[in-house]
Amino acid sequence: MNGAAVRLDPAEIGRTLDELAAIGNRFAGSTGEAAARDYLLDRFRTLGLVDVRLEPFAYLAYEPRAASCALNGAELECHPLQYTATGEAAGEAIYLGDAGEADFERLDAGGVDLAGKVVVVHSMFPFDLVGVLEERAVAGLVHICETPGGIVGNFTGALYPPPLEPPWAGRPTAYPGVTISHPGGRVLLSELSSGGARAAEIRIVHEGALREGIAHNVVGAIAGSEPGQVILSAHYDSQAEGPCVYDNGSGLASLLESARALQSSGRGRTVVVLASAAEEIGVWGASAYVHAHAREMDDVAAMVNLDGIASAYPSQREIWSADAALLELAVATGHAQGWKPDRAMNVRSTFSDHAPFTDAGVPACLIWRPDYPYYHSRGDVRELVDAHAVAQTANVSAALAHRLATDPSALPPRVSTP
Ligand SMILES: [Zn+2]
């Protein structure tokens, strides 16, 4: 058995990308999110999936309000860093590099105390810093994003794992935060290093409203004839601006086209088709799904996550899985299709929908092409996503799901979790 059994059509993927781009922004709690949910329900039914339904869950919604960032009195354009504390932080600014272990070691060696300081960080993953920054009692966080063209991207300050019920522990973070642009970061770093005796004084303000809300996963299935299930999943919410066609229009278009292709490729285990909600701001939908279906998790052979599949940019081919056997199978599936991964990462993830499945003991993976420059920004538009590149990459996931559904010996038997 190989990928030839499942063939995704780039034209179908392109059409879905067009339709999702027309719906526009799908930030959790917005009217666009609701429109995307209705669109997916309709597509699931038209595809002939069974048990099509909405699964509601409670989460803590975030509504961006004002943000400001002033350095020695001069304003820098910024966006709120979602789920950080509301209010003001002012004080001496300290540059932390990309806030890796080596950066903290360097600061410690220099006797620099971060307590009460406003830290400035270059990082793709500001949400991974909550623990260390709270421990060190920073006053505030300025996150410099890498988006080209001076665009300020949209990011969350806390992500995974999410609290699933009140009092929503860990939200907001102990400190306020803002995101500034790459050029803004250059200005800031220049001030920091050229001030001489004058310490750089930074003042940030973040306002964002938190309220309890209800979001909905969209769920359907391709009924199987054998026991067990395989879950194929893509999140349908987006970050706060723009049509977010790469993240995650590409995953959604891949999910729908994979569901179509898998329906006509023979029966085995049931394939659950999941369009999850509220991923960008806390992996809430996938975590809620795992929680609601906890007793079924031992029956799930594997979960395949479709998120940020491919764009029009040259980028690395990557496979991420904490499960060595699934990683190996995914790599082999890629090779069989002429899709050779540049990196195969055998690690636990702190981002995206495969994380809660991994933590529930389910072999889970993500096959994607990251390094998209307009990630999480208003620049993530239809013109920058190539349907052929999406189809090629998603075909590896679809073929993997097919293999997992039809070949019970594809993975070693699961040791059931307590
Ligand atoms: Zn995503």
Contacts of 132 (CB under 8 A, 6+ apart): 99, 104
% the chain with pLDDT above 90: 92
Ligand 1 centroid from CA 235, angstroms: 7
Question: N- to C-terminal Cα distance for the chain?
Answer: 34
Mean pLDDT of 374-400: 98
Alpha-carbon distances, residue 157 vs 59, 79, 126, 203, 299 (angstroms): 16, 12, 6, 18, 34
Ligand 1 centroid from CA 105, angstroms: 32
Query: How high is the pLDDT of residue 195?
Result: 67
Ligand 1 centroid from CA 246, angstroms: 8
CA distance 195 to 112: 18
User: 335-372 pLDDT, tens per residue?
Assistant: 999 999 999 999 999 999 999 999 999 999 999 999 99
Ligand 1 centroid from CA 186, angstroms: 28
* DSSP 8-state secondary structure symbol assigned to residue 199: P
Ligand 1 centroid from CA 351, angstroms: 9
Ligand 1 centroid from CA 329, angstroms: 23
pTM greater than 0.85 (yes/no): yes
Backbone angles phi and psi of 57, in degrees to 5: -150, 155
- Domain at 63-210: CATH code: 3.50.30.30
Query: How high is the pLDDT of residue 196?
Result: 58
Q: Exposed/middle/buried for 192, CB within 10 Å: 0-12, 13-18, 19+?
A: middle
Q: Find, among 106, 118, 115, 105, the residue nearest to 144 by Cα.
A: 118
Ligand 1 centroid from CA 98, angstroms: 21
CA distance 225 to 72: 67
Alpha-carbon distances, residue 9 vs 23, 32, 99, 110, 182 (angstroms): 22, 26, 42, 57, 37
CA distance 297 to 299: 5
Contact 334, 342 (CB under 8 A): no
Domain 3-61+213-406 sits in CATH 3.40.50.10860: no
Q: Find, among 55, 54, 51, the residue nearest to 272 by Cα.
A: 51
User: 267-323 pLDDT, tens per residue?
Assistant: 899 999 999 999 999 999 999 999 999 999 999 999 999 999 999 999 999 999 999
Ligand 1 centroid from CA 231, angstroms: 17
Helices (H), 221-352: 250-263, 284-292, 324-336
Query: How high is the pLDDT of residue 256?
Result: 98
Q: Where are the domains of the chain?
A: 3-61+213-406, 63-210
Ligand 1 centroid from CA 414, angstroms: 28
Judged against a pLDDT cut of 50, whether residue 1 lies above it is answered with: no
- Identify residue 103 by its one-letter amino acid code: D
CA distance 289 to 296: 11
Query: pLDDT band for position 416 (50/70/90)?
Result: low
